[in-house]
Structure 1
Amino acid sequence: MSHRTTAATSPERENHVPKLSVVVPMHNVEAFAESTLRSLAANAHPDFEFLLVDDCSTDATPWVIDRWAEKLPGARVIRHETNRGIAQARNSGIDAAEGEFVTFLDGDDWYGPRHLAGMVRAMEDLGCDFARTDHVQATGTERVIRRPPAAVRNAVMDPRDGITPADTETMVDYPFVWAGIYRRHLFDDGGMRFVTELRTAEDRLWIWRLHLTARTYASLGLHGVFYRRGVATSLTQIKDDRQLDFIPAYDALLRDVREDREADRFLLKAVRTYCAMIAFHIGKVNEYEPAAAQRLRRETRAALQRMPEQALEETLKTIDSTRSRLLSRLRDGRKAA
């Protein structure tokens, strides 16, 4: 058995189908777990359940989880016997979820009061498959509101219209899965699971697949989820080869788009986004561990060489000259950085 689930269930909650399931993956977040779980308590509701997924933490995180699970209404604890990564932690929560809606919160982030009730209310009013929200980026004591680049707010739209245009920041460039709420039917029959082989960039592929799969969505003017930026334990801060998982993530995306009924509509956006990710990582290659840096140069060159040629050439012609020059040199085997 790869994981086990425990619950603190009162008799009146038995046989009760919750309205919302909140999936909270946690791994070695002892410094932040208290504030995260306290924020869940501030959002507790008889119709909400909280799935606390301990991904085999080796610090005090399990102790903090157990202490809060005893007093947090609707809490269920899922424990992985081995560390399996955030993608599997989210999937374990999805598999256990019973709510009509599902949302996610990372173990080092937190909610403002009544944020969850606001999301549920908006989903019931709009009736769409999923909705994305603003979030508050917290860097030390600084707070900045980040908004999804949607065309309109609080209106139902076609998710496919949120993918393009290629040369503009769009909804697929807002990869924060925890800044959203999703109807349970999207996950039926094993659908919309995170790719467990990806240690990073799993969210970027997931968001693209969400926009290609769902029928309706909305962007909500809510900003009650707080994203703790620059945390040392965050996977965004690592400098080893786990960061290179964006390459298989975007390779999988290109395969999806090529097989899509509207491949011609989305292929340029997919290639352009892949190129932007390559340029971003190559631009900071000297920060990486030596072996990871060498592998990054080698594998991104190969990625550029296997991209659809016409879409790649169009991208190199239309992006800024700095990135175009860097990517061209990398593709041709010249020194890129």
Structure 2
Amino acid sequence: MNTYEISLIVPVHNSSNFVEKIFKNISTQTFTNFEVIIVDDHSQDNTTKALKEKFENKNFEYQILLSNGNGVSAARNTGIENSQGKYIAFIDDDDELSEDYLQMLYNTAKKDKAEVVLGSYIEIFNHKKVPKIFKENITYNNLEIRKKIIPQTIFPINNEEEVWLPVWRSLILKDVISYNNIKFDEKISQAEDFIFMLEILFKTKKISLISEKPIYFYNRRSTSSMNRYIIDDLSNQIYFHKVFVRILQENKLFEDVKYRYLSNRLRMYSTVMSNAVRAPEKRQILDEMRETQNTLRNDIYLKKVSFKNLDNPIAVKFLMILLKHNHINVLYTIYSYKEQKRLRKFG
């Protein structure tokens, strides 16, 4: 039996600077039938102490748990395992919510009898706000999810609306998670929520998208995991794609979305090159680029495919052709410039 309508899961790690924001996000919600599960991912600062002091006079039910593992995936799994809500929602510690965040997600789920609801959001970086708003309020059944939503999440083509899959801005019926034994893969350190949500979508009977207004405000910082140097990024990305392919094949969709997937896979190599130039020493950067080159040359999925037939931008295809043909020094210059420009963008 569900004790609450919603369990709101908040992973934290060295988040003492965000305690005020976390409390404000939660305490101002117009929806009231929810519990809060804060999961501390082994913080080395006084995050837990600060949270307990701030929440002393709270007007909502909450608990603070220690993660069973390391990383945000383990923290979210711990939150799910200890949740008592009918629905699961997630927020990150440094982002912001509208006061009707939970109310809008919940109302839509009830109105549409949807198992999953996605809200629109605003991406914030370097004092700029970029709306990511769905074109319309719409509901899709499972067949439509397979034919439209999932392909667009893999790789949008022909000016399709891109559907990004973070778990924040989402409401998920817990039964979908529990009955299908879906968990965050704790071996994946980047885009772990994409894989989780992809599995959710395959098992979902109905999904609704909210277009009225943004209800989540995503703060994209230059110091975030998406912008800092990641050790062993190539091997991590290869593992991610191994899981990615397995899910598509198990659900008998791989052949239908093959070229979208291959376009995504080619983009992955460009992402790895961007990460490489964040390494502290030039020698390390060049070594990582050469390793990426060897992996691309021997990639069984891309080896027999002409890059020109994929849906990537021309610039990405050109850079990957340069990589295959050993223009490492040229690529070092290009990707170094690209990263400097990108970090200036995010401030």
TM-score, reference length from structure 2: 0.81
Aligned positions of 1:300-315 closer than 5 A: 301-302=294-295, 305-309=298-302, 312-313=305-306
Report the equivalent of 2:149: 162
Report the equivalent of 2:343: none
Q: Is residue 239–residue 287 contact of structure 1 (8 Å, CA) maintained in 2?
A: yes
1:316 deviates by 4.8
The verdict on how the C-alpha distance between 1:62 and 1:180 changes in structure 2, with shifts beyond 3 A counting, is same
1:193 deviates by 0.9
Question: Which secondary structure does the structure 2 equivalent of 1:195 belong to?
Answer: coil
Q: Is residue 271–residue 311 contact of structure 1 (8 Å, CA) maintained in 2?
A: no
Stretch deviating more after TM superposition (272-281 or 282-291): 282-291
Give, in whole Å, the separation in 2 of the partners of 1:247 and 1:36.
34
The verdict on how the C-alpha distance between 1:231 and 1:279 changes in structure 2, with shifts beyond 3 A counting, is closer
The verdict on how the C-alpha distance between 1:248 and 1:170 changes in structure 2, with shifts beyond 3 A counting, is farther
1:85 deviates by 0.3
**Which of 163, 183, 200 matches 2:173?**
183
The verdict on how the C-alpha distance between 1:33 and 1:236 changes in structure 2, with shifts beyond 3 A counting, is farther
**Which of 189, 207, 215 matches 2:205?**
215
Unaligned runs of 5+ in 1: 1-14
Unaligned runs of 5+ in 2: 332-347
Q: Does 1:101 align with 2:87?
A: yes
Aligned positions, number: 319
Q: Is residue 229–residue 276 contact of structure 2 (8 Å, CA) maintained in 1?
A: no
| C-alpha RMSD of the superposition | 2.8
Aligned positions of 1:272-287 closer than 5 A: 272-283=263-274, 285-287=276-278
Q: Is residue 257–residue 267 contact of structure 1 (8 Å, CA) maintained in 2?
A: no
Stretch deviating more after TM superposition (175-184 or 209-218): 209-218
Aligned-partner residue type, residue 319 of structure 1: N
The verdict on how the C-alpha distance between 1:190 and 1:214 changes in structure 2, with shifts beyond 3 A counting, is closer
Q: Is residue 2–residue 85 contact of structure 2 (8 Å, CA) maintained in 1?
A: no
1:129 deviates by 1.7
Report the equivalent of 1:235: 225
Report the equivalent of 2:247: 256
Aligned positions of 1:105-120 closer than 5 A: 105-120=91-106
Give, in whole Å, the separation in 2 of the partners of 1:62 and 1:202.
24
Identical residues among aligned pairs (%): 15
Aligned-partner residue type, residue 208 of structure 2: A
Question: Which secondary structure does the structure 1 equivalent of 2:122 belong to?
Answer: strand
Question: Which secondary structure does the structure 2 equivalent of 1:175 belong to?
Answer: coil
Report the equivalent of 1:37: 23
Give, in whole Å, the separation in 2 of the partners of 1:302 and 1:310.
10
1:138 deviates by 2.3
Question: Which secondary structure does the structure 1 equivalent of 2:21 belong to?
Answer: helix
Aligned positions of 1:1-337 closer than 5 A: 17-43=3-29, 45-72=31-58, 73-80=60-67, 84-148=70-134, 152-157=136-141, 158-160=144-146, 161-164=148-151, 166-168=155-157, 173-189=163-179, 191-221=181-211, 222-230=213-221, 232=223, 234-241=224-231, 243-244=233-234, 245-283=236-274, 285-290=276-281, 291=284, 294-295=287-288, 297-299=290-292, 301-302=294-295, 305-309=298-302, 312-313=305-306, 316-331=309-324, 333-335=326-328, 337=331
Q: Is residue 105–residue 118 contact of structure 2 (8 Å, CA) maintained in 1?
A: no
Give, in whole Å, the separation in 2 of the partners of 1:252 and 1:69.
39
Q: Which consecutive aligned stretches of 4+ in structure 1 deviate over 4 angstroms post-superposition?
A: 169-173, 314-318
- Per-residue Cα deviation, 1:233-267 (whole angstroms, up to 9, x for no partner): x2123213165433321221022223332221122
Give, in whole Å, the separation in 2 of the partners of 1:52 and 1:279.
35
Report the equivalent of 1:7: none
Stretch deviating more after TM superposition (129-138 or 185-194): 185-194
TM-score, reference length from structure 1: 0.83
Report the equivalent of 1:11: none
Give, in whole Å, the separation in 1 of the partners of 2:185 and 2:308.
27
Aligned-partner residue type, residue 229 of structure 2: K
1:134 deviates by 1.0
Question: Which secondary structure does the structure 1 equivalent of 2:140 belong to?
Answer: coil
Stretch deviating more after TM superposition (51-60 or 171-180): 171-180
Q: Is residue 2–residue 84 contact of structure 2 (8 Å, CA) maintained in 1?
A: no
1:202 deviates by 1.0
